[in-house]
Amino acid sequence: MSKKVYVGMSGGVDSSVSAALLKDQGYDVTGVYMKNWSKDLPGHHCTWEEDYMDAKKVAAQLGIKFKLYDFEKQYKSQVVDYMVGEYEAGRTPNPDIMCNQEIKFKLFLSTALKDGADLIATGHYARVKDGRLLAGLYKNKDQSYFLYRVKESALEKSLMPVGELEKPEVRKIAKKLGLSTADKKDSQGICFVGQVGIKEFLESELGISKPGRIINQKGEDIGEHEGALYYTIGQRHGLNVGGGLPYYVTGKNTQKNEVYVTTDIADKNLWRKSLKLSDIHWINDEPNEKSKYMIRTRYRADLVNISKIIKEDSNYRIDLEDEVRALTPGQSAVIYEEDRVVGGGIVI
């Protein structure tokens, strides 16, 4: 008897093709749409109903069963509230990572298993092998960075069918099969509210922030910002400080509501050769002294060689062979051994 796989179908092309590939491989496939967010925001319509119908249509085209799981309450408490709290504290979180940790590879997995599934699958561009997480085969679309907090036990029950494909190839398969999502654009913006920008979303949750002072590297007051919590380290755009060289954010103080900037791209506040990580998660085992590791300090950032990994109480200090720019408190740094994701933590 074929294994039952529940595929998380978002209404996009990646998860649509994942379901198609698994059916072709002989699995007993059920599509599941996770309803995580349905609230409209000022000037922005939430597209969950359209996405749900797109996923349902593909399931019908493929001739597979289809379900809806309503996770909205859990999503609000475990992802949205976490994200808002981090911004309020002056940090820059990554809600997609928390969504994968708490919703897709914990809540969805446990619900699907109770519902009769043997495995779950997603449309992530990453690979899973024997409980190990590997980078997607094609680096320009690799999403393993967002999955470093998934547990080994969850990976053992998970499939990622498009992890060895390139995006154009995925679209080609969708077109060949006549899937209705073949030409659907990739969703952008916050993972759960579609096209809405982070500033608009935080304003809807927290209200309008008070403007404050922008202070340069000389301690001079050079302008006014829209609220310190909206800015991240290394940010160049959105400062509205005109004339001369571009300014880069080097820091902020949410208590004083001040943002600190520099025109010096070599400013020591922008570059670090060492970082500290909290909330460490190792997928399979802790790093050892014999192996060579690399770190990615933000999605799409280049991998940097690690010279030392030192445990300091519950945190870790990571010494690097080269300097990295714009380390941002609250963001995730992910450690790799060749193409295997070892784990990572939150920059402090």
Domains of the chain: 4-176 (3.40.50.620), 209-262 (2.30.30.280), 271-347 (2.40.30.10)
Element holding 31 (H helix, E strand) = strand 28-35
pLDDT at 208: 87
Residue 267 CA from chain centroid, whole number: 28
φ, ψ for residue 135 (rounded to 5)? -60, 150
Q: Taking the CA atoms of the chain, what radius of gyration do you get in angstroms?
A: 21
pLDDT at 116: 98
CB atoms within 10 A of CB 323: 14
Q: Considering 21, 58, 99, 135, which one is annotated as catalytic?
A: 99
pLDDT at 250: 96
pLDDT at 319: 98
For residues 41 and 194, is the Cβ–Cβ distance under 8 A?
Answer: no
Q: Give the pair of three-digit tokens for residue 259.
A: 């943002």
pLDDT at 167: 95
pLDDT at 70: 98
Q: Give the pair of three-digit tokens for residue 12.
A: 């996009």
Q: Considering 191, 214, 215, 309, which one is annotated as catalytic?
A: 191
Whether 46 sits among the annotated catalytic residues: the reply is: no
Q: Which residue numbers in the chain have pLDDT < 50? A: none
Whether 191 sits among the annotated catalytic residues: the reply is: yes
Residue ranges in the chain assigned as alpha helix (H): 13-24, 48-62, 72-75, 81-88, 95-99, 108-114, 152-155, 167-176, 198-206
